[in-house]
Structure 1
Amino acid sequence: MTTIDPNLYLHNQSTSRTPSPELGKDQFLQILMTQLQNQDPTDPMDDSQFISQMAEFSSLEQTMNMANSIDQLVQNQTVSPVIQNSHMIDKEISYQAYEQETGAALDIETSNVVAVSQHEGYAVLELENGEKIYADAVLQINHPNIEDGDSATDVTGPSPEGSE
């Protein structure tokens, strides 16, 4: 014979509830249905009052959906590492190169960024020389000088050596 778990008895369940200051669409619909079920059959709810409540419910639902959509849009735009690092496209960057097999540090290399992608939530810069590096590995960002084809450091003020 199977036994019933005593934890499932109603008297063992928590009867307290935490009131919420917000009225969601489910609670609103539940109140409306309770009101319809418990109305006096000899004096039913006025049609205009019922229509007003339904319009209020519809407005509440649309407002909640719009708020959720805006929240999702803002979250997608502020979190994307591709958007945050897209300004690096066509910039010349310097980065520390490493030996892939041993992990030993090599010389500092320079290349132009041709694309920005995302891998496991991190921005990956695709370089003109075929390398792919994480954006946080960049040591310096340069932009090409249009007049003479040279690169100029993308910082303001004097250089660290004191020459300009």
Structure 2
Amino acid sequence: MANTIDPSLQYSSIKKTERKTGSDILGKDDFLKILMVQLQNQDPLNPMQDKDFIAQMATFSSLEQMTNMNRSIENLVGMQQQTQLIAYSEFVGKNVTWHKITASEDPDGKPETTTGSGVVKTVRFVDGSVKFVLEDGTELDPANISEVGISTNTPPETSDDNKEPSEPDNENKE
């Protein structure tokens, strides 16, 4: 009887399987697991020195604090962007005069600018920067706005709700 190897069992037909993990970032639990395994498997005749253990813990503590600081800074930046958007929302309904530098140049070789005016319809956040959208569809950066005024389409704010009722004329009193 001849010994044969089934081709489906050969190494070349076995697909490589990659080990998938949840994240490339090591956390606190991962560090503590590694440290515990290291302590369990250390050479009993040459154990880890106290100073080495303390140095590893200090390194881990520093890393944890930097991670927390990074998270806090990211939150701060997000809040700053929201605050900026809220501040720019005051432009909605206002008439603005704007200028944009175009890609073309005048005969003297200086860049040409396009100017215009319009009423701000919306303010939005796009790719980390604020964009003003005018009623005619023009998109502007805050740096393009050179003047802000009250729109002629928007009546000035008046408040008659807080006035006390006026008294009738005293002419008819005797």
Question: TM-score normalised by the shorter chain: which range applies?
Answer: 0.3 to 0.5
Task: Normalising by structure 2, report the TM-score.
Answer: 0.40
TM-score (norm 1): 0.42
Structure number with larger C-alpha Rg: 2
